[in-house]
Chains A and B, each alone.
Chain A
Amino acid sequence: MNADEARESLAFSEYARKRARDDMGRPWLALVLLASLSVVSLSLTDAATSPTALFWVFAGPLGAGAIALYAYRRNRSSGIESSPLAYVAITLGLLILAYTAGKIGFAFQVPAAARFGPAFVAAAGYFALAWIERSWMVATISFALLAVTVVIIGFDLSSQQSKALVFGLYGITLLAVGFSLRVARKPVL
């Protein structure tokens, strides 16, 4: 094999790899679902100790189930299968950690942990999603959200103000990115 053939083979295998990744779909649904669930989680942070926290008992399995169903249908139609387990594991892990952070914050009387813990956990979840999708865009957004949370803590705002800020920024940004990924996949007619 000469150098040109080696370069050509490597370029072709890289093309095939990228095409497979693209065809397995962008993380739009997982992102939108994770965003929606974590936004609701953030709004319920202070209620993590109340019966309304039962929300997760239903939202967690439903979210994970929807992602798994989406992955299954996508796989069947495209002819290439990715494992839905990573999405499901991330969704469930994220929900459990977010809920636990709220609980620990309340148990140890650390209001900041209860208020911002789930936000940090959500950002970590998006990092994990970025890793499995090899998406620099998702990773960058996750980092930005993490930084925003730290800045909001620094401002020492009231509980309601900080909650509203985190709620709005996480929700709007991630839902917008999720839907834009979805739109980007649609062919222009």
Chain B
Amino acid sequence: MTHPSSALDDTIHQRVRLGILAVLSESRRADFGYLQDVLEVTAGNLSQHLAILEDAGHVQITKAFEDKRSRTWVTVTRKGRAALATEVATMHALLDGIGSGQRP
């Protein structure tokens, strides 16, 4: 029998990356500026987190030229959506386990 924490995904097991996937899972896509604003991170920091998620296949990044300016759109993949659902469920299960373990 494995411990529930073994189901946690190291790639998204981080506050900002979890936030990125949470935003994207609610929408069709979001742009870089929006994510930076919501998650309150620097551009460099956000770029690093997005690169990690992209390498893992959790998000897809598209650069477009709109209204004479470049825009970076981020979309969650099916794999990313599933990973987020698993991660959240695992964390809830862990917290439930801790809660029930504290009962007399």
A residues bordering B, Cβ < 8 Å? 1, 3, 6-10, 12-17, 19-21, 23-24, 76, 78-83
The chain B residue sitting closest to A134, CB to CB, is B26
Q: Are A16 and B39 in contact (CB under 8 A)?
A: yes
Q: Is the CB of B23 within 8 A of A80?
A: yes
Of A3, A8, A10, A16, which contacts B23 at CB under 8 A? A16
State whether A79 touches B33 (Cβ < 8 A): yes
CA distance A19 to B98 in the complex (A): 29
Q: Identify the closest chain A residue to B73 (Cβ).
A: A81
B91: which of A6, A21, A78, A83 is its contact (CB, 8 Å)?
Answer: A6
Please tell me if the beta carbons of A16 and B19 are within 8 angstroms of each other in the complex.
yes
Which of A1, A79, A80 makes the CB contact (< 8 A) with B8? A1
Q: 1/0 contact trace for B1-22 toward A, CB 8 Å?
A: 0000100100001010011111
CA–CA, A15 to B88, complex, Å? 14
Q: Chain B binding site: helix, strand, loop or mixed by DSSP?
A: helix
| A13 & B13 in contact (Cβ 8 Å cutoff) | no
What's the least CB distance linking B102 to chain A, in Å?
10
Instruction: Indicate which residue in A1, A9, A23, A81 contacts B29 across the interface (CB closer than 8 Å).
Output: A81
Q: How many A-B residue pairs have CB under 8 A?
A: 75
A16 proximity list for chain B (CB < 8 A) = 19-20, 22-23, 38-39
Q: How far is the CB of B14 from chain A (nearest CB, A)?
A: 8
> Complex: how many Å from CA A79 to CA B31?
5
Compute how far the CA of A79 lies from the CA of B37 in the bound complex, rounded to whole angstroms.
10
The answer to whether B5 and A17 have CB atoms under 8 Å apart is: no
Contacts of A82 in B (CB 8 A): 27-28
Chain B 31-42, CB-CB to A under 8 Å as 1, else 0, gives 101100111000
Report the nearest A residue to B75, measured CB to CB: A81
Contacts A19-B23, A79-B33, A81-B28 given; indicate if A13 touches B88 (C-beta within 8 A): yes
Give the chain B neighbours of A19 by CB distance below 8 A: 23, 38
Nearest 10 CB-CB pairings of A with B: A79-B34, A13-B22, A20-B26, A16-B19, A16-B22, A79-B31, A81-B28, A80-B30, A20-B23, A17-B22
Question: Is A14 in contact with B22, judged by CB distance below 8 angstroms?
Answer: yes
Neighbour of A78 across the interface among B8, B34, B39, CB < 8 A: B34
B82 at the interface (CB under 8 A from A): no
Give the Cβ gap from B43 to chain A, nearest Cβ, in Å. Answer: 14
> Within B25-75, which residues are at the interface with A (CB < 8 Å)?
25-31, 33-34, 37-39, 66, 73
A116 to B13 CA separation, bound complex (whole angstroms): 52
Quick check: A6 and B30 within 8 Å, CB to CB?
no
Measured between alpha carbons, how far is A14 from B91 in the docked complex, in Å?
13
Q: Smallest CB–CB gap between A12 and chain B, Å?
A: 5
